[in-house]
Structure 1
């Protein structure tokens, strides 16, 4: 019970310490992200007067509508809409009918005169005078006509020869129709009458006929185009709605260097907030919220890293350091980037995720790739507050994801260059997609330049990764897969030493490495770390190799001539002799921990019980390894596989049943002895480890055909 309380206190202190570490790292990252991107959202305010000369080219920091200019443009557009008029067909027909009536009345008067003369036998009857004809004509004409036309005009028409009158009627009607067709308004009445008279004047009539017809035209032409208020209002509404808002676009030049600050320019600067610092508070608040959100994601990921890697401070430090390097690199390039010179395409941003995948985990690389892409879209917004460079963000995200995907099967540093080649293909495709999606026309030379940018970014990322990786491995002591592969080479001095001085232990370590790697990969642990750790876990046996049975080939066992206590001291010292040797050769801490933990606090039963037969008061603690117990999954699995390999190797005729019994017995013994209590292995993990080890051993110790021996003659 006391032991559980002590363990709970240690866990609580460890969790508190981890959260404090994460909090400090998160605050540092948040503050750095905020201040590095502040200049991209903070608008510079100018102290400038009207009619002064601009000392620099000033651009709008935001996109905003110039409402005053929009209203002016709308007002001008509405005023330019002409009034709408409707041509009245009724008035047109009425005036044409009046004209026809005049000529028809004269024809009827002539017809009556002719009939009278034929029926009247008195040839001496006096004919009607012109005045009488006019009076007779006025009796049959409408009042509207007689009120408008003078007696002189009617007299001239009556006395006009019939043929000439008919021709005049035809010309007059054509002139009236042409005039009415275009519409006659009040303000254009005089010009419409004048046009009708001109048509008549150009006809082949004498002066008297032309004058009479002109007077008729003057009478007939009246206003027939009536103002339509409803149509005019509708047209003006449509015109007003068609006016596009006058926008001041972000990045648009308001005034160039040396130009005069006119009233219009001054008002535009005031509108976009270049004269008033109050507007700056909102972008800063927005940036603060965004940075806080991104930092929370980083904190969550760092918490996951601490749980997975047992509160490894070095990995937290590497996240902070890599983030600072990557974001600083983007900021430096952004200082030389313009809208016409898109240098962000050449930023080797993938360096960060390549390092994170090798030093920490692929999941962390994916999470941080998204965060770096978002920050890149802010940093490369050309210092236009409120805008994000989506093109840069997409490019950065796809480039980083490509780096993560193509960095596979790492065997040496050339794998990073191979990932750079794959990344360059993705960069080129992304850039070409931007070109083809754009409405702008690109010259072939520009396409080649941008393609070169994509290739350059990929290989710069690979080269920087190769250059920075040793720094993180050496200064922070972080173990990467490439470092592990280098340590697994048989040409390593310590492995050569183990092979030459303790060949049995070397073979034993190889077998333990095979078992451990397979078991770790089955439960999702680091199989490569387990393999390399197993290679070095018994390095301490090289101090006294002949005191270990696997190295006692054709020699007498030296333990037979020394006391059990001396034998125990020699055996117990080998994990710590190995750790000291590994530390001297600057082997990574993870492997040193495996060497010192692979026996935990287990009991040397053989020598303990051998001594107990002679001395009943023997202390068990004298025959136990001082520990520590395995702290990681890899160390715990090596602890199990180390015992399993030795036990199975001791079997004269290993069968599947014997292998399964030994493996189950050893795992059960480690659990009951508490050797796995401080490791993160679960019961489910142990079941899977047991099955995997059994399957592997069955493959190694499978049945073989017994070939007959040739009898000697």
Structure 2
């Protein structure tokens, strides 16, 4: 049992990573569609790359979306319109007409009153027969209409129904054509008081009828019989062949699988997702070992992969047409901000491979997203500069649009059928990429990471901690500024993180604030407290500034990446002056009492700080510096550090050390305003 526990603790980091991959894989597959994956991959307009394909069983040919849309439009254009016809309105109008007739036609000279009254009643009935409406749809007059009179339905043409605004002119025309023209004004007066609309358009009933007809629309046309050839090798996948392949694919992906086949599908998905995530983990282990050793950073990377997969899956599930609106380029941007471009691009490609299972037109999607990811990595420099982010977003959007134009030209043989809505989706994805800035801030707080954006804020010399350093230890502050400039120049020379090492240099000596006058650069009066202390006590004070700096940094919540510079800027080197002074009186003294606790520098940036710090501090002891003296002085200090093994853990090469020394020499010569001495 003890051996099992020991083995568990020994391998707990590996077990955590394996558990993380397992959980991520299960979550990804859980949100994947569980239909079978069609075994053939094809693209519209491209040749069929497989052998001749024959039907294993009968299947229906699906109509294309254009054909279905055309049929739907025909149904809508030919559908009957429904009007509610109120017979009471006509009866009431006739009653009002009869009651008002005698009052209007009250002239005693009228001899044919009964005929006039019957003429008016017949005219009124004729107008009401097909209905009068307040407003009718602006459609063809020949469109068929159903007049719903209670339980009875009458069929007429739309043109036979009169609008209320048409009735006055209709009455005038009818009266002009009759033999009672002389009574025209009296009839018009009478009709105006009697006529009201009696037919009301019923959009609900009309739409229900259209919906019913649409529901009966068949989505298929014809059948491919078992054994018949679907497509031949080399044939272009377009027209009838394309529709047959889409029908076969839809039939396969929508069929009901048995429990055993369903389980096999899920198991296959899990194996492929695990394989992809393991490849990502192996890449990190081989090429980014420091990231691999940090479980928080591994969790952060897989969390972002999972987030992008889940976001894309949700869009594909509810609105597949909007899949290109997902800002997938946020992923390489974030990983580049916290790690580096190579890791960001590799993770981006792995994520796209996973999404290839669920997105439509997976080849086109893969091509577009990989190209966009490469452009993101190449175009985004110094993310903390807002202008650079906007430029990068513009370039990403442009690449999307160019690639879409190219694919559309291949598929359609032109740009006539270009879907402009897709261009809007690309612009939307580009704008959504701008969300990377607040997202970086959120991730810094949640995962305790640090990006160039935060480093820029920390490099402000007006920040609380640096202002305190300048007030309490002005000499140390000035030294830190000089070291920061040296480090930044050296880092730029060898391709290291210049922003990180500059900020690390600004804070590397903050521990000296506790006892500033114990360090020579802050002794303005010329009184040296070490004159009254033993070498061991003096060495302990000097060494303690590293421990004090770590405590101050943690108290002020500086990121761990900056605290690493404080811990390592002296490595395990010796406080040589006081060690030699102690040996003068005590040969048996232990060197361990005069050594910094370490650890050794473990990156290019921390190694650069050690070199720059030592060279800048020691350069203050030069009495009459010359160019040759500075060159030999730099060589001597760096060689001593290399002989002591201070750079054994740092991933810095001999060539890069030579380049750093060259920069330090040049900068020190500039500081002391030295020129090359020419022989007379």
Change (3 A) 1:704 1:34: same
1:514 equivalent to 2:485? Answer yes
Q: Distance in 1 between matches of 2:252 and 2:529?
A: 95
Candidates 341, 346, 365, aligned match of 1:392: 365
Aligned length: 483
Change (3 A) 1:567 1:291: same
Candidates 322, 328, 331, aligned match of 1:349: 328
Aligned counterpart, 1:691: 662
Is contact 1:501-1:545 (8 Å) kept? yes
CA drift of 1:580 comes to 0.8
CA drift of 1:334 comes to 0.8
1:319 equivalent to 2:290? Answer no
Q: Distance in 2 between matches of 1:557 and 1:251?
A: 87
SS of 1:703's equivalent in the other structure is: coil
1:302 equivalent to 2:284? Answer yes
RMSD: 3.7
Aligned counterpart, 1:380: 359
Change (3 A) 1:244 1:595: closer
Aligned counterpart, 1:703: 674
Aligned counterpart, 1:41: 36
CA drift of 1:293 comes to 4.3
Q: Distance in 1 between matches of 2:522 and 2:230?
A: 95
Q: What do the CA deviations read for 1:525-548 (whole angstroms, capped 9, x no partner)?
A: 322211111110001111111221
Is contact 2:452-2:499 (8 Å) kept? yes
1:403 equivalent to 2:376? Answer yes
Q: Distance in 2 between matches of 1:663 and 1:15?
A: 44
Is contact 1:315-1:360 (8 Å) kept? no
Aligned counterpart, 2:496: 525
Aligned counterpart, 1:601: 572
Gaps of 5+ in 2: 1-6, 39-51, 60-226, 233-239
Aligned counterpart, 2:174: none
Candidates 569, 585, 588, aligned match of 2:540: 569
Q: After the TM superposition, which of the residue ranges 14-23 and 449-458 deviates more from structure 2? A: 14-23
Candidates 427, 446, 454, aligned match of 2:426: 454
Candidates 234, 238, 247, aligned match of 1:252: 247
1:369 equivalent to 2:348? Answer yes
Change (3 A) 1:272 1:317: closer
Is contact 1:64-1:249 (8 Å) kept? no
Change (3 A) 1:625 1:252: same
Candidates 502, 505, 514, aligned match of 1:543: 514
Q: After the TM superposition, which of the residue ranges 537-546 and 283-292 deviates more from structure 2? A: 283-292
Is contact 2:17-2:295 (8 Å) kept? no
Superposition TM-score, scaled by structure 2 size: 0.63
CA drift of 1:648 comes to 1.8
Aligned counterpart, 1:328: 310
Aligned counterpart, 2:55: 66
Q: What do the CA deviations read for 1:427-454 (whole angstroms, capped 9, x no partner)?
A: 222333333333288788x743222111
Gaps of 5+ in 1: 1-11, 44-62, 71-239, 256-268, 382-387, 707-713
CA drift of 1:591 comes to 0.9
CA drift of 1:589 comes to 0.3
Give matches, 1:44-123, under 5 Å.
Answer: 65-66=54-55
1:425 equivalent to 2:407? Answer no
Q: Distance in 1 between matches of 2:371 and 2:650?
A: 38
Q: Distance in 2 between matches of 1:491 and 1:15?
A: 46
Q: After the TM superposition, which of the residue ranges 580-589 and 657-666 deviates more from structure 2? A: 657-666
Q: Distance in 1 between matches of 2:230 and 2:487?
A: 75
Aligned counterpart, 1:482: 453
Is contact 1:376-1:392 (8 Å) kept? no
Q: Distance in 2 between matches of 1:67 and 1:309?
A: 51
Change (3 A) 1:306 1:647: same
- Of structures 1 and 2, the larger Rg is shown by 1
Q: Distance in 1 between matches of 2:564 and 2:621?
A: 27
Q: Distance in 2 between matches of 1:350 and 1:253?
A: 34
Change (3 A) 1:310 1:616: farther
Q: Distance in 1 between matches of 2:430 and 2:10?
A: 39
Q: Distance in 2 between matches of 1:275 and 1:27?
A: 25
Change (3 A) 1:525 1:270: closer
Q: What do the CA deviations read for 1:558-590 (whole angstroms, capped 9, x no partner)?
A: 323334333222211111111111111111101
CA drift of 1:333 comes to 0.6
Change (3 A) 1:440 1:331: farther
Candidates 550, 553, 561, aligned match of 1:579: 550
SS of 2:32's equivalent in the other structure is: helix
Q: After the TM superposition, which of the residue ranges 650-659 and 277-286 deviates more from structure 2? A: 277-286
SS of 1:335's equivalent in the other structure is: helix
